[in-house]
A = this chain, B = another copy of it.
Amino acid sequence: MTNPVFIRDLTSPECPIRNVLARIADKWSLLVLYTLSQQNDPMRFKALQRAIPDISQKMLTSTLRTLEQDGFIVRKAYAEVPPRVEYQSTERAASLMPHLNALFGWAIDHMQSILRDREVYTAKGNES
């Protein structure tokens, strides 16, 4: 809708890259968004942790809070014992995912050759 902003000054706090993308594109957020998009059902905290085994409880919590803050997910707590909390992605996330999926696809397609380049690069660095 509103589209007056452009990336004139990369330093500006208005810079969409710094202000929006940097909060999505970190390691954990990408993995959480990807995981939630795979199931299209809401997921429980524990289920997310199982899907991303090496994320700590603390990091999962804070990642979820940030995503919730920016309207990518909704947190629903049920007054049960034991407690049940479900996270589901929003319309906003749905509109973002095609672009992220395109990126994931690109990464899958190019990973092998990137890894090869990386090897060549370090090999060159180590030769006498």
Which A residues form the contact surface with B (CB < 8 A)?
Answer: 1-3, 5-7, 10-11, 14, 16-22, 25-27, 30-31, 34-35, 51-54, 68-71, 92, 95-96, 99-100, 102-104, 106-115, 117-118, 121-122
Number of copies: 2
| CA A18 to CA B26, docked complex, whole Å | 10
* Contact among B70, B108, B118 for A70, CB-based, below 8 A: B118
Residues of chain B contacted by A100 (CB below 8 angstroms):
103
Q: Using known A-B contacts A25-B25, A71-B113, A102-B102, determine if residue A11 contacts B108 with beta carbons closer than 8 Å.
A: no
Residues of chain B contacted by A104 (CB below 8 angstroms):
7, 16-17, 21
Contact present for A69 and B118 (CB under 8 Å): yes
